[in-house]
């Protein structure tokens, strides 16, 4: 029995897509770590924006422009409050986590020199690896990998030994998208600060499950993508601590980010506009705010405890299948299960599950080094959200059993 304060059936009514059929079967959507589905509260916000007050922001004197500006800036404050950042201008709207990380990596170019070190965990998404490799190429800095163990856990003692006066940056995800591991970011941040290194935490996979307190974490940079937390695609945020964001040079040049432009010299706008060149995803930002309201209306505690029960139930049921192995077995994880069935390629199982209307992810999950560590080409990843049910877990298990019979 799964007990929860959430009324899952009513919640499911908020998500029109969950009524869909796929290949003749009711959709079982278990690819939430890739992107979450969108509740009608967020969809309505988007429709309302384009139906009533679509206008460019920050420059217009007309009413529509002011309404759009107010809504956009209000969304920024919602996000600020949600993560308890000290200032609204520490929230920079970006196109998502990838964009946020590139903004910081680009900004650090002038801060690093040959021999400086960037530490990165072994379980990163490619978007938290490649921008740092590019930064190292530009500056001669060295990228060093913090190891993990076979449970898929960050090795804090090894990390502590790697820190030195050469360490300028530590980058790590809060939650691994490939394994579900929740990393001990409080300790990671505190240890980095002892050697005066800055810390960027990729929060893309944590935001749908964990409510953070930026000021308590005392983190320097934190990233979120709206589309993983019931918002639209193509929008996200970078949280950047004021002292860093003041020092960091602008990322892109253009409109909105300037104070004054002449052909001789341009001066830049204050935060956050310095980092927001061009017309932003206005509707997306406003809808991101609506997604945060939606998540908070359910409550993160209720979400976490329900998802934990789903995770435990799914783990137990899947492990009853002989030959099935789970990757990412930490006690501290979100509702992500990466697995393989002995002798069968993950892609083949994914294809059969799709024929049954069950959406999972197969492959390396943009985390090839994690797959290399376990010496596998990829996994099948089922990732659960608060709108998933125990029946859907049963469907998944039956689907994997069926695939195994067909392919084994
Ligand atoms: C999804 C994800 C990203 C990339 O996010 P985008 O929205 O595609 O930019 C980065 N890191 C982790 C851990 C993710 O789950």
Domains of the chain with CATH codes: 8-30+299-407 (3.90.1150.10), 43-296 (3.40.640.10)
Q: What is the pLDDT of residue 4?
A: 84
Q: What is the pLDDT of residue 3?
A: 76
Q: What is the pLDDT of residue 1?
A: 65
Q: Considering only CA atoms, which residue is closest to atom 12 of ligand 1? A: 204
Residue 125 Cα to ligand 1 middle (Å)? 7
Please work out whether the CB of residue 334 comes within 6 Å of at least one atom of ligand 1. no
Residue 309 Cα to ligand 1 middle (Å)? 25
Please work out whether the CB of residue 104 comes within 6 Å of at least one atom of ligand 1. no
For the stretch 387-401, pLDDT in tens is: 999 999 999 999 999
Q: For residue 408, name the pLDDT band (cuts at 50, 70, 90).
A: confident
For the stretch 85-97, pLDDT in tens is: 999 999 999 999 9
For the stretch 226-271, pLDDT in tens is: 999 999 999 999 999 999 999 999 999 998 899 999 999 999 999 9
pTM value > 0.85 = yes
Catalytic residue among 136, 172, 283, 366: 366
Q: What is the pLDDT of residue 129?
A: 98
Please work out whether the CB of residue 177 comes within 6 Å of at least one atom of ligand 1. yes
Instruction: Tell me whether residue 366 is one of the annotated catalytic residues.
Output: yes
Backbone angles phi, psi at 144, to 5 degrees: -120, 140
Tokens coding 333: 């994880």
Tokens coding 267: 């001066």
3-state SS class at 189: helix
Q: What is the pLDDT of residue 44?
A: 98
Residue 36 Cα to ligand 1 middle (Å)? 12
Q: Is the pLDDT of residue 121 over 70?
A: yes
Burial of 401 (0-12, 13-18, 19+ CB in 10 A): middle
Tokens coding 76: 């920024």
For the stretch 63-85, pLDDT in tens is: 999 999 999 999 999 999 999 99
Residue with tokens 């935060």: 271
Residue 37 Cα to ligand 1 middle (Å)? 15
């Amino acid at each position: 029995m799964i007990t929860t304060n959430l009324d899952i059936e009513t919640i499911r009514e908020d998500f029109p897509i969950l009524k869909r059929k796929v290949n003749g079967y009711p959709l079982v959507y278990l690819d939430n770590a890739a992107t979450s589905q969108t509740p009608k509260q967020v969809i309505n916000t988007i429709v309302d924006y384009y139906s009533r007050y679509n206008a460019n922001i920050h420059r217009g004197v007309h009413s529509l422009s002011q309404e759009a500006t107010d809504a956009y800036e209000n969304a920024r404050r919602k996000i600020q409050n949600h993560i308890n950042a000290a200032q609204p201008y520490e929230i920079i709207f970006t196109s998502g986590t990838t964009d946020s990380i590139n903004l910081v990596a680009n900004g650090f170019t002038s801060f690093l020199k040959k021999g400086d070190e960037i530490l990165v965990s072994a379980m990163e998404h490619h978007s938290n690896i490649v921008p740092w490799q590019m930064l190292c190429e530009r500056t001669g800095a060295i990228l060093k990998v913090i190891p993990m163990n076979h449970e898929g856990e960050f090795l804090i003692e090894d990390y502590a030994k790697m820190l030195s006066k050469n360490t300028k940056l530590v980058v790590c995800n809060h939650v691994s998208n490939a394994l579900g591991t929740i990393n001990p970011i409080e300790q990671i941040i505190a240890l980095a600060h002892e050697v005066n290194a800055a810390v960027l935490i990729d929060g893309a996979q944590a935001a749908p499950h964990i409510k953070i307190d930026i000021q308590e974490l005392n983190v320097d940079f934190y990233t979120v993508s709206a589309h993983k937390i019931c918002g639209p695609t193509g929008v996200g945020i970078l949280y950047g601590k004021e002292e860093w964001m003041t020092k960091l040079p602008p990322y892109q040049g253009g409109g909105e980010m300037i104070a004054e432009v002449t052909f001789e010299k341009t001066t830049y706008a204050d935060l956050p506009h310095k980092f927001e060149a061009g017309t932003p995803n206005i509707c997306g930002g406003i809808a991101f705010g609506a997604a945060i309201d939606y998540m908070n209306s359910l409550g993160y505690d209720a979400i976490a405890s329900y998802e934990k029960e789903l995770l435990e139930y799914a783990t137990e049921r899947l492990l009853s299948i002989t030959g099935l192995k789970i990757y990412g077995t930490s006690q501290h994880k979100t509702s992500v299960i990466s697995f393989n069935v002995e002798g069968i390629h993950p892609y083949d199982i994914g294809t059969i599950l799709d024929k049954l209307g069950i959406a999972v992810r197969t492959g390396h999950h943009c985390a090839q080094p994690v797959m290399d560590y376990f010496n596998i080409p990829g996994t099948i990843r089922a990732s659960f959200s608060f709108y998933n049910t125990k029946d859907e877990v049963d469907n998944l298990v039956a689907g994997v059993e069926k695939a195994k019979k067909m392919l084994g």
